Amino acid sequence: MPVVAIVGRPNVGKSTLFNRIFGRRKALVEDFPGVTRDRNYAEVTRFERPFTLIDTGGFEPQSQERLLQQMREQSQLAIEEADLIVFLLDVQQGLTPADQEVAAMLRRVDKPVLFAINKVDGERQEQAAAEFYALGVEELFTVSAEHGLGINDLVANILDRL
Ligand code: GDP
Ligand code: MG
């Protein structure tokens, strides 16, 4: 079964997206950043196609350096384990140096990587999300994991590239 991993900084909404795609509540979502300590796996069937979805966790790092280290490790695991990676970013937090570094790392990977911008709950955030084109990617997917916006389009594109 193909494997899809969601990676990204703490609090961008990885677990919320995982639950939204899974269709049930499994991963722990909290108002505290970095609540998913471990990796969370689910077998998901969308558009009649099964795949394994991984929610990557982490702790709340004490420093920028620890954050980067955690994201490198998380991304490296996903690169080894997954057939496709969803790199999730947060329009509220904006584009950060850690995102830039991880994006550069993921661009070198010989696997499909989808760049998805979360917390695009409305028109205002839709415009703000254009900031992420600075990552040098051709295509961005905007989603609101919390409100279920853009999810079908993202999932359809995941399945297209598996
Ligand atoms: P994770 O650390 O990346 O797994 O992030 P979580 O899924 O735990 O979510 C972190 C916070 O972001 C929670 O308070 C969520 O309710 C919130 N959140 C997640 N998705 C959205 C969204 O689409 N819009 C908004 N406004 N908040 C969201
Ligand atoms: Mg989480």
Q: pLDDT value at position 84?
A: 97
Q: Is the CB of 11 under 6 A from ligand 1?
A: yes
Q: How many domains does the chain have?
A: 1
Structural domain span for residue 93: 3-161
- How many Å apart are CA 28 and CA 9, to the nearest integer? 16
Q: Is 58 marked within a binding site? A: yes
Q: What is the domain-level CATH number for residue 131?
A: 3.40.50.300
Which protein residue's CA is at the shortest distance from atom 10 of ligand 1? 11
Q: Is the CB of 142 under 6 A from ligand 1?
A: no
- What is the mean pLDDT for each group of 10 consecutive residues in the chain (162 residues)? 93 94 72 57 92 83 84 86 96 94 90 97 97 95 98 98 96
Q: pLDDT value at position 64?
A: 85
Q: How close is the Cα of 152 to the center of ligand 1, in Å?
A: 18
The ipTM is: 0.99
Q: Is the CB of 91 under 6 A from ligand 1?
A: no
Q: Is the CB of 146 under 6 A from ligand 1?
A: yes
Q: How close is the Cα of 87 to the center of ligand 2, in Å?
A: 13
Q: pLDDT value at position 72?
A: 86
Stated pTM of the model? 0.92
